[in-house]
Structure 1
């Protein structure tokens, strides 16, 4: 199996896990008898786990290699899906979500490091295609969740089946995932560049992380709360509500498949700017117009707008971490991912809290503003990168 196919499939496995449990949030909330605000605090468990894992994942991948981290984290995610399905109380659900957060945090960084390695090998900007794999997996997971809910499957039964599917697919593809062991990390002959600086000292990485952060908040809100918005305020059933997230992921996947062409044609900054405007418009319409059809359309527009944001931010972070030997970028991708996961950390309770005090429409209005902030962050990152390159030219 080619490494491109294997990495695409790993992204799909990650999306499958998310789509499976995120689309069952109404059933999970009912299972643990949680109001929106309390359920938002339970979702905080996943965010804490993701942030903690992402903050150390770069170093771990440098030592063990991406393939080993992909395998271990996927197996852990399968266990977590089963725990989520059987959780009877809010504390136990929060604990299960903490476990899946850790697994996803490790898997996200490892699969993006592997994707950057493939991207460098083929010398084409194909990161968005890999992230389309995530959307395809999330779409499959959400559609399966809609069928499971429509046929009365409990979360335990449904998520147990999803866990088995993830493990079986992993067994077939894991050996083709790039190992990514940095052979020259300690070679003194490797030219020193700005990549030698700690990520925390580089403004360009903070701004790219801000792009990923805003995207994470908007994408996470659409994942965690779209079904609840559609059931609570648009009057649709649980099975139909899952289609909102499915439409979001379908349009996102199709847009990401065209992302390589768009990036070559227009450049990454223009892609980020156009996506920011489109996502903000879609989420604003969803928030302001209390019609179910508009909600579906708004989430679809948001999927198109957010499609490029996260993959481009991580691809650019890996690029600014590239060393003179052609390797590198693990720490930079881990840094940007860790910052982005603060969006998953703060997003669920903020959106849940706003919905508790007001309604889901107002909460998604806040999310639309966050999506609009991707534009200034992307422009700032381009300027900061140019300043770094100019400074490096002066030094040499």
Structure 2
């Protein structure tokens, strides 16, 4: 069996690969169900609703049954639901299947982040950026595989069934090595007084959630609007415009792969603040300098700066909920994840509305300001955590 670290990395890889495999075939799915841009948008909204509505329940379920079982259930339904997309005949049916996939994605996200936190605790290493790099790499593999399948003439059914089978084999191979995160029955329930407080009454968690919200809005803007920005505002071709998000993704994945050393060197809060400065500066550069080359570099800086936001926040949220027996953090990760999904849900229409009233340069400039707001939120979160540890009379064991 693989080591727990490799097993959890494989789950992240699985999640990213299956998600981008069907997302990259969206033009074919839209043609299959006869969707217009409006009805396709409503169908895709089903996935977002599934993500945002399921995350809180997934966190509670994870605390009860453990990350391993939650991942197994989420993965099992995913490998069935992905090929089921090819059975949809109307946009409404497509939306229903996407709702199921969104719910599975929320379960997988909560489960794999809780399992990843367990591995970081057992090894005493800040490995969360590397685990999230697995999702980024999986997404790249899934999208490239979708492009290859379309190029050789594979139909949707053949492609998605093939992906689902490969995914099922991977999960079957690694699932027994995924940490079981259920608490010891006779163990202590808390190592700090804060862990017993309801998560909704902890300012620290709301600050961490706010940081992920801002990061999610920025990531959504980069994925949804970067190509259109380069076509409309910089006058490049559609093929050249696609390179902007590719640069963003590659920079993010590369930064995450080397994230452990960065987090050890500067600490999680400084890394978050510095990343926000880099991302905000990069997006401002892309908006203010009328040069496609500078724009590409700017979006790469956005990917570099945002690379650590979600994984480091998951690490800090899990640490904030750690129990004396070494488990815990499910509720805290669930809250932060739910708020992050809200950012993915609300970000695109907000950015689109500003662009409609003005232009994409103005709307992306607004996103740059949102990213900059992460810096004071990080400083407040650091101060809030210090107050919690002072009241508890104990310090965190994490760097």
Q: Is the 8 A contact 1:26 1:228 kept in 2?
A: no
Q: CA deviation at 1:68?
A: 1.2
Cα pair distance change 1:188/1:255, threshold 3 Å? closer
Q: 1:188 to 1:318 in 2, by over 3 A?
A: closer
Question: What is the aligned partner in structure 2 of residue 366 from structure 1?
Answer: 366
CA contact (8 A) 1:252 1:304 kept: yes
RMSD: 2.9
Residues 248-287 of structure 1 correspond to what in structure 2 (within 5 A)? Answer: 248-287=248-287
State the 1:265 CA deviation.
0.7
Counterpart of 1:323 in 2: which secondary structure? coil
Match of 2:397 in 1: none
**Deviation string, structure 1 residues 189-216 (Cα, Å, up to 9, x no partner):** 8655211111111000100111111122
Residue number in structure 2 paired with 1:312: 312
**Number of matched pairs:** 391
Distance 2:357 2:91 in 1: 20
Q: Is the 8 A contact 1:73 1:103 kept in 2?
A: yes
User: 1: CA distance between counterparts of 2:261 and 2:248?
Assistant: 21
Query: Superposition pairs for residues 30-69 of structure 1, below 5 Å?
Result: 32-35=34-37, 39-69=40-70
Residue 60 of structure 1: how far off its partner (Å)? 0.4
TM-score (norm 2): 0.87
Q: Is the 8 A contact 1:143 1:243 kept in 2?
A: no
- Change over 3 Å in CA distance of 1:5–1:323 after alignment to 2: same
For residue 118 of structure 1, report the CA deviation from its aligned partner.
Answer: 0.6
Cα displacement (A) at 1:45: 1.7
CA contact (8 A) 1:19 1:141 kept: yes
Structure-2 residue corresponding to 1:103: 104
CA distance in 2, matches of 1:42, 1:356: 22
Deviation at 1:52, TM superposition (A): 1.3
Moved more, 55-64 or 359-368: 359-368
Where does the alignment leave 5 or more consecutive residues of structure 2 unmatched?
395-399
| Change over 3 Å in CA distance of 1:153–1:372 after alignment to 2 | farther
| Residue matched to 2:169 | 168
1:80 maps to 81
Instruction: Give the gaps of 5 or more residues in structure 1.
Output: none
CA shift in 2, pair 1:14/1:293, >3 Å: farther
Superposition deviation, residue 307 in structure 1: 0.6
**What SS does the corresponding residue of 1:322 show, helix, strand or coil?**
coil
Q: C-alpha separation between the residues in 2 aligned to 1:155 and 1:358? A: 39
Residue 381 (structure 1) shift: 0.4
| Map of 1:143 onto structure 2 | 144
- The 3 A distance-change label for structure 1 pair 88 and 10 is same
